[in-house]
Structure 1
Amino acid sequence: MMLAYLDEVGEPGAYISKSHARFNTSPGFGYAGFVIPDAKAREFGSIFTSEKRALFASTYESATNPGVWEIKGASVFRSKTPDYAPQNIRVFKNLCRQLTRLGGRLFYYVDEKPKGTPKQVALDIDLVERRAMEEVLNRICRAANARNENVMFMIDAISEDQRSKRLPNMYAHILGRAADKPEMRRAVEPPMHIDSELSASIQFADWVAAILGRAVEYQLLADGDCLWVGEALWPQRDTIFTKESKLHLLSDRSIDDLYTWDLLKRERPLLTSGSVIPDPETARKMENLFQRTISQKKD
């Protein structure tokens, strides 16, 4: 059996730009983490715990309750991590090597978000979340089927209200799709939500989501400054991802979606294809500048 550990990449709310006062969180939303044979999960969890405690030894030793101590991926991987904490990247690269040695792979599925306010893009947060999760289920079930294995899903815990809302949708999707797509029968259960404090594997999924979220920003944003993610993981590109991993671009793009290690490329096809769509705020500024230029020429 395969085990899939997942966490959210970004958040499903509206996005305009990193400099916008309100809608500035993330240009994409989805899930990332890893899959691993069940027989190797405990060993990998032990490796992760040991590496994490050694890397952040002083913080760990001073924790009120070391047994449930964790450090979030957003704190481990920031835009300037290579400058102030290159050791974090070194440890993550080693964890990826250990994961692949044990038969595991990283996984991601992220949807690019249209730029605009909730009203401008007709935002339905529940729909954004549901569509992303459905694609995650589809793709990981496909990966499990290719290995002739069943799969169980584990996700970082959310509120009871969110869980009760999402779980029926996930269950319905798995059952409804299984009639035409037999790989969906590989899912033993809908995703279970686990408190990250109690699971080393969920914590590593959080780290994966954080670092790949930086790579997503590099690919989608002209001012994305996290080229270092691709440079760090490039030597392992052929072995660390499931082939089902994907960054899904908006339908009006003139280029194909990004798959597996495409996410790590130095060259950003989205930004070099001429298909970049400015955010509404920037578009208005460009239009105003254009109109002023035309007016000055007339004068």
Structure 2
Amino acid sequence: MLLAYIDEIGETGAFVSRSHPRFNTSPAFGYAGFVIAAERARQFGQIFTEEKRKLFAIEIAASTKPAQWEKKGSQIFHQTTVDRYPQQLRVFNGLVHRLRSLGGHLFYYADEKPCGTPKQTKLDTVARESAAMRETLNRLARHADEQGQHLLVLMDQVNEKQRVERVPAMYAHMFGRPGDFEEMKRIVEPPMHLDSAVSSNIQFADWMAACVSRAIDYHLSASSQYAWITSGKVDAVRGLFTNNSKVHLWHRGVSEVFSPGRG
């Protein structure tokens, strides 16, 4: 069996531009993370924890809850990371190499947002989240089918209201789609939620989502400050994404944000 650990890329709100006073957060929304054999998941989690504890030893020692201390991906992949905190990228690349050695894969899927305010784009955030999750499950199912494995999807916890709203829709999608797409039978259950504070693998999924988010920003935002993300600083990720990892561009098909010839 495979385990897929995923986290959100960006957020579901509207996007106009980086300079807009309100709608400036992310030009796309989706999910990213990694897939690993169930029997290797605990080993990778231990590797991540060891590296995190060494890299952030001072901050963890000062924490009131060191066992639950986490560094968010947005802090790992910051605009100034490449100049001020290159050691974070070194550790990230090392973790990706370890994932590769354990037979794991990286994954992402995101939808580019139509440019405009909520009124201009007739924004429905629930529909946006549901569409991205459906396509994420579709593509993870295809990967599991290619590997001849069943799959369990795990993601960072959400509030109870969101969970109650999302689970029925995911069940309906999973059990309504196999008539035409047999690979959906590879997914055992709808995504289960884990607290990132106690799950090392969810924390790494968050780091991966942040990495992909910065690459998408570089591709889709003219004023992006993340050109460095595709300039060789995280080259460990190249060649490790599943074949189904893509960004769906608004009225323009699909794109690979870590394609070999870019950056």
TM range (shorter): over 0.9
Instruction: Name the residue aligned to 1:258.
Output: 255
- Within 5 Å, which residues of 2 pair with 1:97-112? 97-112=97-112
TM-score (norm 2): 0.97
Q: Which amino acid aligns with 1:25?
A: T
SS in 1 for 2:223: coil
- Residues 143 and 166 of structure 1, relative CA distance in 2, 3 Å threshold: same
**C-alpha deviation, 1:263, in angstroms:** 8.4
Instruction: State the TM-score, normalized to the length of structure 1.
Output: 0.85
Deviation at 1:65, TM superposition (A): 1.2
Choose between structure 1 and 2: higher helix proportion: 1
* CA deviations over 1:23-58 (Å, ceiling 9, x no partner): 111000000000000010000000000111111110
AA aligned to 2:254 is D
**Match of 1:286?**
none
| Equivalent-residue separation in structure 1 for 2:26 and 2:60 (angstroms) | 30
Which whole-Å CA distance do the structure 1 matches of 2:62 and 2:34 have between them? 30
Does the CA-based 8 Å contact 2:155-2:202 persist in structure 1? yes
Residue 236 of structure 1, CA deviation:
4.7
8 Å contact from structure 2 (residues 96, 236) kept in 1: no
Matches within 5 A, 1:91-102: 91-102=91-102
Partner of 1:237 in structure 2? 238
SS at match of 1:178: coil
In 2, the alpha carbon distance for the partners of 1:21 and 1:6 equals 30
Is the contact made by 1:244 and 1:260 (CA closer than 8 Å) also made in structure 2? no
Superposition deviation, residue 234 in structure 1: 3.2
Match of 2:217 in 1: 217
Judge conservation of contact 1:219–1:263 (CA < 8 Å) in 2.
Answer: no
Call closer, same or farther: CA 1:111–1:228 in 2, change over 3 Å. same
**Which secondary structure state, in structure 1, belongs to the residue aligned with residue 214 of structure 2?**
helix
Give 2:133's aligned amino acid.
Answer: M
5+ unaligned residues in a row in structure 1: which ranges? 267-299
- How far apart in 2 are the matches of 1:264 and 1:146? 26
Count of residue pairs brought into register by the alignment: 262
Residue 228 (structure 1) shift: 1.8
Q: What 5-or-longer segments of structure 2 have no aligned partner?
A: none
Deviations 1:72-131 (A, max 9, x none): 111111011101100111110010000011011110001000111101001010000000
Contact kept? 2:106, 2:237, Cα under 8 Å:
no
Q: Deviations over 1:110-155 (max 9, x none)?
A: 1000111101001010000000000000000000000100000001
CA contact (8 A) 1:7 1:156 kept: yes
Deviation at 1:190, TM superposition (A): 0.3
Give secondary structure in 2 for the equivalent of 1:19. coil
Q: In structure 2, how many angstroms separate the alpha carbons of the residues matched to 1:250 and 1:59?
A: 41
How far 1:233 sits from its partner (Å)? 2.8
Q: Distance in 2 between matches of 1:263 and 1:224?
A: 20
Kept in 2: contact 1:244–1:259 (CA 8 A): no
Return closer, same or farther for 1:157/1:103 CA change in 2, 3 Å cut-off: same
Structure with the greater relative contact order (CA < 8 A, sep ≥ 6): 1 or 2?
A: 2
Q: Deviations over 1:262-281 (max 9, x none)?
A: 28822xxxxxxxxxxxxxxx
Runs of 4+ in 1 over 3 A off after TM superposition: none
- Which of the two has higher C-alpha Rg? 1
Sequence identity (%): 50
